Every structure is written in C-alpha cells, then in structure tokens.
Structure 1
Amino acid sequence: QYGGAIYSYDSGYDIDKCNFADNVNLYGDLDDIYTMFDWPDPTLKNNTYSSEYSYNTNKTRYASIVDTSGMKLTLLNNSIDVSKVPSKFDLRDWGWSTPVRD
C-alpha cells in the first residue's frame, strides 16, 4: 500500500545520497519512503525526493518490541535505470549477486 520505493517496519536504517523520483504507492500518491516503528536512530540525509511530502517516517517505539539484531541491508551505488523495461535482467551483469557457495 505505502512506500513506492521503500517500506520499512520495525527496523533501523541510514539512507544517504539517494535519488528518489516518481515513486507512487498503490493509491497513486507520491510516496518514496514509508516507515513505521523506526529504531534505534534512523537517518535520512543528502537525499532527493519526488516531493517534499513524499516520505513519511514514524519514529515510534513501544516497550513491547523485542530488540534483537537482524540482517543488515546495504545498497551502494544503486544506479539502475528502469524507466524502460529491459528485454532481460541479470543481477550478474550489475555485480549484485554473490559468488556460488556450497
């Protein structure tokens, strides 16, 4: 429903130097980032958004949340242009897949 580019629930994040353009939610509204129950000190800095109202962060903590370590997600140099759908898409072409393991 929400978060045309990023939807985050009960997590921490640091988003820096990202360009968000024309991301819409299921209702057709500009909605780059939508978060709920942010922790421990999320940051948004040096980003460009679709509009000044296209991100909604809810920095709410509740005593009932279990605070455990989780998976860390890091996006670096995300510069794929998908304004035109490619005939094929392979993460290996972008260096975004890990080598084969066991």
Structure 2
Amino acid sequence: MSKWIVTASMLDADPPTLRTITNFEGGEAEALLKFHDVVNSYDHDVTKVTRREIYKYSDRQYLVRVLGRMKQVEYIMQLGELIVDTQDPELSSSFE
C-alpha cells in the first residue's frame, strides 16, 4: 500500500506558500480519485465561490483557478507518492 500526499501552492502569494492538503494510503487508482475530489472542491482562500477553472498538466498536477465574489486565487495542486522513507524497511533508503 503506497503513501500519498496532496499539496497546493498558491500562485502570487507573498511569501510563497505550499500547503499539505491531505495525506493518505492506498493504491494509485484510489489516490487519483481522492486527488480529483480535492481538486474539484478545494477553496480554502475564497468565500462564495462563483467559478472554478481547472487546467491539466499531467494526471498528478493541475492548475486550479477559484473565483469568488471578491477575489480570484490560483493554485498548483500536485499528487505525490512517497518513494523514500529511511524509517520504513519496505521502502528504499535512497532515491536513484
């Protein structure tokens, strides 16, 4: 069972921000479904969402533009798989 993380980086933030949205375990298909749920619902910085635009770069990376009544926020959202953990004997101890 793989470990996954979903992050969101807010564009034009000062200072730049990278948020961990969620961590979970599961297979790749399950991870992609959870990732799509987050992409379709994340609106942490906007109240009264009026529109959402989603641009796909890859299966694991999207640009999400959320428009609200008063402002617009853009995020790069990514799905990552844990590949190295020096405390987990089942995972490699180095990246190659």
TM-score by length of 1: 0.27
Point out which structure has higher relative CO (alpha carbons under 8 A, 6+ apart): 2
TM-score by length of 2: 0.27
Bigger strand share? 2
Higher Cα Rg, which structure: 1
Bigger helix share? 2
